[in-house]
Structure formats: C-alpha cells, structure tokens
C-alpha cells in the first residue's frame, strides 16, 4: 500500500495537470456558452432596437401628419366660422316680408300672400320658412326669384309649384298661380366648431 501511495505521490503532478486541464476545459465551455448567450441576446436586442427605431419613425411621421391635419382642421373651422358670420344674427320677419312685398309690388304680381312658418334648427344655421301664394305671369315670377337670388341675405326656394291660372291670359302672357316656400337663414349661436384638440 505504501508503494501505491508513493506511486500516486510521484505521479501527482500528472494528476494535477489533468485536473487543471479539466478545470480549464469546463471554464472554457462555460465561457463559450456565456458568449453565445450574450451574442444571441445581442442579436435579439439589435432586432428590438431596429423595431423600436421603426416605431419611433412611424410616431414621428404620425406627429408630422397630425400637425398638418391640425392646420387643415383649423383652416376648415375658420372657413365655417367665416361663412357662419355671413349669416345674420336674427330673422326679422318684418324686414323679410317687407323685402318680399316690395319686390312683388314692383313686379305687379297680384294676390300675394306671405306667411311666416316655423324655424328649423340645423347644425350650422337656423332656417325659417315663408310660404308664398300669388298670381302673375311666368316672367314676373322668374324676375321675382332672380331678385331674391341677388338679395344681400341668403334665401333658398325650398319648393315651388307654378300652375296655369283659371284667369287665362293677360295680354300675350299666360297667367300662372305660384305656391312655394322660401327659406331665410340665420346663424346658429349654439354651434361652435369642435377642433378636436
């Protein structure tokens, strides 16, 4: 046994060398695994960085477009407000009916009857209907509606029915009975343009 122990001690340097080489190989193997893990994480991080950079570019493009859209929305809102300000603040029945009556009288249209109707609220404006019933020639009605179209105030002919009058002809012109609804507008004070930002 003593010989065995002496042999082991005499060859201890070989055992130490083998043990050291084994330890070095284990350390090298662990180090290689760590390097591969870090490299694979680096590739994943690179992909995440590329994706994040792409998202940042998309966000920057979106912000740029958002600013452009804000400018457009502001321009549209200003246009709406400008058009809305062109409408009068109130619908004065007396003035409107006097305007209609003056035009009717100047054209010598007979049996004219105007009746104010109800107001109808829309998003941007409030309209009021005025019913019309009168007798005259087609040319007289044509000139009357042309004058309404050229008025300072905005009017709309909502509906119109011209039919041959029972009176027959007046000179060389056929008499017609006209019935219709004319709308007058004013701005809606409750409407405010929502710009959304």
149-162 pLDDT, tens digit per residue, is 888 888 899 999 99
Asked if the model's pLDDT at residue 32 lies above 80, the reply is yes
Same domain, 10 and 66: yes
pTM of the predicted structure, to 2 decimals: 0.57
Same domain, 79 and 110: no
Of the three residues 86, 121, 145, the one that is the final residue of a domain is 86
Of 119, 142, 140, 145, the C-alpha closest to 130 is: 119
Domain at 162, CATH number: 3.30.70.60
Of the three residues 31, 61, 86, the one that is the final residue of a domain is 86
Q: How many domains does the chain have?
A: 2
Note the pLDDT of residue 85.
67
Same domain, 47 and 132: no
Give the range of the structural domain holding residue 173, as residue numbers without chain letter: 93-187
Cα separation, 43 vs 50, whole angstroms: 10
Q: Mind listing the pLDDT tens digit for each residue in 75-91? A: 888 887 777 766 777 87
């Amino acid at each position: 046994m003593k010989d065995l122990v002496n042999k082991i001690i005499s060859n201890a340097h070989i055992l130490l060398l083998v043990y050291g080489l084994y330890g070095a190989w284990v350390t090298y193997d662990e180090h290689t695994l760590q390097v591969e893990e870090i490299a694979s994480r680096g590739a994943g991080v690179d992909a995440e960085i590329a994706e994040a950079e792409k998202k940042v570019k998309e966000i920057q493009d979106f912000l740029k477009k958002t600013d452009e859209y804000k400018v457009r929305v502001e321009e549209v809102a200003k246009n709406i407000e400008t058009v809305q300000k062109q409408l009068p603040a109130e619908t004065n029945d007396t003035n409107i009916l006097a305007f209609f009556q003056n035009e009717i009288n100047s054209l010598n249209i007979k049996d004219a009857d105007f009746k104010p109707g109800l107001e109808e609220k829309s998003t941007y404006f409030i309209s009021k209907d005025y019913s019309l019933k009168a007798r005259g020639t087609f040319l007289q009605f044509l000139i009357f509606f042309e004058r309404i179209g050229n008025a300072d105030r905005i009017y709309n002919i909502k509906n119109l029915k011209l039919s041959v009058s029972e009176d027959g002809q007046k000179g060389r012109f056929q008499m017609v009975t006209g019935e219709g609804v004319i709308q007058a507008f004013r701005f809606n004070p409750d409407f405010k343009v929502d710009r959304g930002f």
